[in-house]
Amino acid sequence: MELVEQYRTLNESFKSKLVYHLGAEAGFFSEFNNMILAMLYCIKHNIQFELFSKDANFGYEKGWQDYFLPFCNESNVTLHSKLNPRQPAREIALKNKFKIFLFKICTKTEYFTFDLWNEFHSKNFEKFYFDLPLLNIKGNIQQACAKLIDLTWRYNKETEDEINEIISSLNIPEHYIGMHIRGGDKFIEYEKVEVDKYIDIALQKSDLRDVFLLTDDYRIIIQMRKDYPTWNFFTLCDENERGYFHTEFVNSNTEYKKNKIIKLFSSVDVLNKAEHFIGTFSSNPGMYLGMRMKDSKVHGVDLGHWTIW
Last residue of a domain, one of 127, 152, 177: 152
Q: Does 271 fall in a domain?
A: yes
Same domain? 77 vs 199: no
CA angle 215, 167, 263 (to 5 degrees): 45
Residue 94 has pLDDT above 80, yes or no: no
Print the domain residue range for 188. 157-300
Q: Poorest-confidence range of 23-32, 36-45, 272-281?
A: 23-32
Q: Contact at 8 Å (CB) between 166 and 262?
A: yes
Mean pLDDT, range 53-78, rounded to an integer = 95
Last residue of a domain, one of 152, 184, 212: 152
Contacts of 271 (CB under 8 A, 6+ apart): 178, 180, 212, 214, 277, 285, 289
Same domain? 113 vs 8: yes
pLDDT tens-place string over residues 177-214: 999 998 654 443 444 557 889 999 999 999 999 999 99
Residue 290 confidence (pLDDT): 95
pLDDT tens-place string over residues 154-185: 999 999 999 999 999 999 999 999 999 986 54
Same domain? 137 vs 164: no
> Of 67-81, 125-139, 248-262, where does the model show the most confidence?
67-81
Residue 250 confidence (pLDDT): 64
Instruction: Look up the pTM and report it.
Output: 0.92
Mean pLDDT, range 12-19, rounded to an integer = 97
Number of structural domains (the chain) is 2
Residue 187 confidence (pLDDT): 42
Q: Predicted confidence band at 88 (pLDDT cuts at 50, 70, 90)?
A: low
Q: Which one, of 238, 302, 223, 298, lies nearest residue 268 by Cα? A: 298
Same domain? 12 vs 108: yes
Q: Predicted confidence band at 66 (pLDDT cuts at 50, 70, 90)?
A: very high
Q: What CATH number should be reported for the domain holding residue 272?
A: 3.40.50.11350
